[in-house]
């Protein structure tokens, strides 16, 4: 058996001398020194020897094992050196190859528009008030002067939940009530805020309408706020977005929570009022619904309408982004198609 050990050692050393790769190294290690390797098996068989031979056999076996382990380490260093040399030789850098593109994230087009709005309204002294997206029926409708069964509820198809009275807000206007109650000091303090956020409508999804989109609400409450302030403010906003010479017009309209109400149009920036596809050949593009806060709404917010007044407006940033970039389908906004999103 001792002889067998010596033969195996010689054989192992001969084979090791031929090893030239990491894979071969690993195979060699497994074959001789691994758990079921030949040397290991021989060492294990020491028990089969007569007692008096065991000690010398064990000693020699250990020596051989150590010698092979050392030889392995030496060979390993050599193989690694060779592989490195080969890598350096073959892996020369080809400076004519195109670089790897660095993927940068970008801001969603809606986020870009929202941030532009924040800047503009911020410059005019409007702070951001974040109101909830999950609303109760009262705040979304009733407190805004839209009682149950009021036909105006049909204007905004609603996502109801299985919990009575809990709905997804159909517009950002309920935030008016919350902002007045939260910031108004029981009807003693002026307010100037915008309320941006997502709104939800239970509608057929088409190129023109989505079930979710952003609105940016505006609310100003003070002691002598008039329709003139509203018109001047909307005109100033339009000039910031569409340029110094942008023309605006105001159209009488109706919302239950404002009185009087008006819609704000800006002259079509594409055709300059001539009429084109973007403005549907009207020459004008609608940018906001607005009006003077209805006395009932002021009261529901905690203000005495005899002393306080205010204006409110609501804008749709997706619509405005679509007009600006000639996007003809609102479904692109939440489809997460990078080919669309990366254009902005």
Can you give the binding site for ligand PHE, defined by CB under 6 A? 171, 173, 217, 255, 258, 289-291, 312-314
| 261 DSSP β-pair partners | 253, 291
User: Cβ contacts of residue 321 below 8 Å, gap of 6+?
Assistant: 109, 110, 112, 113, 327
Q: Which is nearer to ligand PHE, 186 or 228 (CB)?
A: 228
Q: Which is nearer to ligand PHE, 42 or 177 (CB)?
A: 177
Q: Which is nearer to ligand PHE, 37 or 314 (CB)?
A: 314
Distance between CA 145 and CA 241 in Å, rounded? 32
Query: What separation in angstroms does the CA of 334 have from each of 110, 113, 241, 341?
Result: 10, 15, 24, 10
CB of 219 to ligand PHE, least distance (A): 8
CB of 119 to ligand PHE, least distance (A): 21
CB of 236 to ligand PHE, least distance (A): 17
CB of 93 to ligand PHE, least distance (A): 59
**Nearest position to ligand PHE, beta carbon:** 314
Q: Which is nearer to ligand PHE, 9 or 290 (CB)?
A: 290
Task: Please measure the distance between the N-terminal and C-terminal CA atoms of the chain and give it in whole angstroms.
Answer: 79
Neighbours of 36 (CB within 10 A): 9
CB of 167 to ligand PHE, least distance (A): 14
Q: Which two tokens stand for residue 317?
A: 């940033």
Neighbours of 85 (CB within 10 A): 10
Neighbours of 95 (CB within 10 A): 5
Q: Which is nearer to ligand PHE, 197 or 314 (CB)?
A: 314
Do the Cβ atoms of 301 and 177 come closer than 8 Å? Answer: yes
């Amino acid at each position: 058996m001792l002889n067998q050990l010596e033969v195996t050692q010689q054989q192992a050393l001969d084979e090791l001398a031929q090893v030239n790769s990491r894979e071969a190294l690993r195979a060699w290690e497994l074959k001789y020194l691994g758990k079921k390797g030949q040397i290991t098996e021989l060492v294990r068989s020491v028990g089969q020897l007569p007692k008096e031979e065991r000690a010398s056999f064990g000693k020699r076996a250990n020596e051989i094992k150590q010698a092979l382990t050392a030889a392995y380490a030496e060979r390993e260093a050599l193989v690694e050196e060779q592989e490195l040399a080969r890598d350096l030789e073959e892996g020369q850098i080809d400076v004519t190859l195109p670089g790897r593109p660095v993927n940068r994230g970008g801001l969603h087009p809606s986020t870009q528009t929202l941030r532009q709005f924040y800047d503009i309204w911020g410059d005019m002294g409007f702070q951001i008030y974040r109101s909830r997206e999950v609303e109760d029926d009262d705040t979304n409708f009733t407190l805004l002067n839209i009682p149950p069964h009021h036909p105006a509820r049909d204007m905004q198809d609603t996502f109801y939940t299985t919990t009575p009275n809990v709905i997804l807000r159909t517009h950002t206007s309920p935030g008016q009530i919350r902002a007045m109650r939260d910031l108004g000091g029981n009807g003693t303090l002026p307010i100037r805020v915008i309320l941006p956020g997502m709104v939800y409508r239970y509608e057929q999804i088409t190129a023109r309408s989505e079930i979710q989109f952003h609105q940016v609400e505006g609310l100003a409450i003070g002691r002598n706020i008039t329709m003139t302030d509203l018109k001047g403010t909307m005109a100033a906003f339009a000039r910031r977005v569409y340029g110094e010479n942008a023309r605006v017009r105001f159209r009488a309209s109706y919302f239950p929570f404002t009185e009087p109400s008006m819609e704000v149009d800006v002259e079509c920036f594409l055709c300059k009022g001539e009429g084109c596809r973007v403005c549907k050949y009207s020459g004008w593009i609608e940018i906001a619904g607005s009006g003077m806060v209805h006395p009932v709404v002021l009261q529901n917010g905690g203000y005495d309408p005899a002393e306080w007044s205010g204006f409110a407006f609501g804008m749709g940033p997706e619509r405005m982004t679509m007009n600006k970039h000639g996007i003809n389908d609102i479904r692109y906004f939440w489809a997460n198609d990078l080919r669309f999103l990366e254009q902005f």
